[in-house]
Amino acid sequence: MRHLSENERSCGSAFRDHSGQASIEWVGLVLLVSAVITGLSLASGLVPGLAVVQSVSRSLLCAASLSEGCFDEGSLEEQYGPEVAGLLRSHVPDLLFGPDLLGLPVDFRSCRSAACANAGGRGVVGESTAGEPVTLFTRVVDCREAGRSGDLDQLPAGECQGEGEGNLYLQYWAYYPESASFRGVPVIEQKGFHRHDWESTQVRVSPDGEVDQRASSHAGYNHTRSALNWGSDIGSEFLSRAAEAAGFRERGGWGPASGALLIAGGSHAGNVAGSPADRYPTRTPASMIRLIPLEGVRGGPLARPADFYPITPPWQKSVWENPEADGTG
């Protein structure tokens, strides 16, 4: 977790003393400084200059928000306790990206444009060309008896009944500034494009220690990459259930955890297993991924203004409260 420097703390104090006009003046300064730095960066052809724009803009916006906790990423231990924090770290998957990679998962509070999420090449990557770290946001749903008696952000008791009862759910959410399902396909390419994209992979730990995993893929959840997942991909519960009843796919998209997330480069649709690793030329090892508790930051000063239209953010999706939900809406 990043701690505020003495200068940042004193600066925030100064703003509070003159709060009547600080916000307007400093938001104006944000725009001015960002415009100047962006112009200089583009004029010199230095794309990495975007990292400077991101850093300066974020710092000034934090200052204008009059919040000393603006930079906080949140501690896994503080949010979930040491046991669950350890499980989150041990189950975070390696990320494998397809050859048509369209940006890395980043922190939506500081990057919501394609330029700052660009991967810039193949091989092992830990940050974008603009210096944005590869980031996954976490969400925990603890349906164990011990978890429901704690003080964490828990589900209503009814949601933990049935299939979910007794399980621990670890959700890893990825934000991408844009998505292009039909990238490179003539005529229909624009049909598959939209700003913003939230995808996830979820881990389910059962009372007997069995660990399952699934990944969001278009309108449903999949485990093994297969053409037989098309019912899930179009959001048809009837077709998905029929394929599951016939043994063609895993129930609810859940299957044995692989420790990996296979990501389609354009749409970011995910799978857990089923494709040769050499089909994914870009990867981020689990050890290089920054984890941020989404419960703790989604209401912060840099998160509140975020507009993800036409996409629904995680905390408005069914799976946020019901970890066994089949749909991604």
Give me the pLDDT at residue 195, please. Answer: 84
Whether the pLDDT of residue 212 is over 50: the answer is yes
3-state DSSP call for residue 26? helix
Give me the pLDDT at residue 224, please. Answer: 94
CA 170 to chain centre: 13
- Among the residue ranges 11-25, 48-62, 160-174, 250-264, the one predicted with the least confidence is 11-25
User: Cα–Cα distance between 105 and 133 in angstroms, integer?
Assistant: 8
Every domain of the chain and the residues it spans: 6-64, 76-321
Give me the pLDDT at residue 36, please. Answer: 56
- 23-30: long-range contacts, CB 8 A cutoff, minimum separation 24: 23/64, 23/66, 26/60, 26/63, 26/64, 27/61, 27/64, 29/60, 30/57, 30/60, 30/61, 30/64
Whether the pLDDT of residue 185 is over 90: the answer is no
Average of per-residue pLDDT across 106-124:
91
Give me the pLDDT at residue 272, please. Answer: 96
User: Cα–Cα distance between 140 and 16 in angstroms, integer?
Assistant: 35
User: Cα–Cα distance between 61 and 122 in angstroms, integer?
Assistant: 33
What pTM was computed for the model? Answer: 0.79
Whether the pLDDT of residue 80 is over 90: the answer is yes
In the chain, the percentage of residues whose pLDDT exceeds 70 is 70
More confident: 241 or 32: 241
- Among the residue ranges 59-63, 99-103, 111-115, the one predicted with the least confidence is 59-63
Q: H or E stretch including 218?
A: none
CA atoms within 13 A on the CB side of 117: 25
Q: Could you read off the pLDDT of 83-108 as tens digits, one per residue?
A: 999 999 999 999 999 988 889 999 99
Give me the pLDDT at residue 183, please. Answer: 55
Q: Could you read off the pLDDT of 296-328 as tens digits, one per residue?
A: 999 888 787 788 888 899 999 999 999 999 988
Mean pLDDT over all residues of the chain?
78
**Largest pairwise CA distance in the chain:** 67
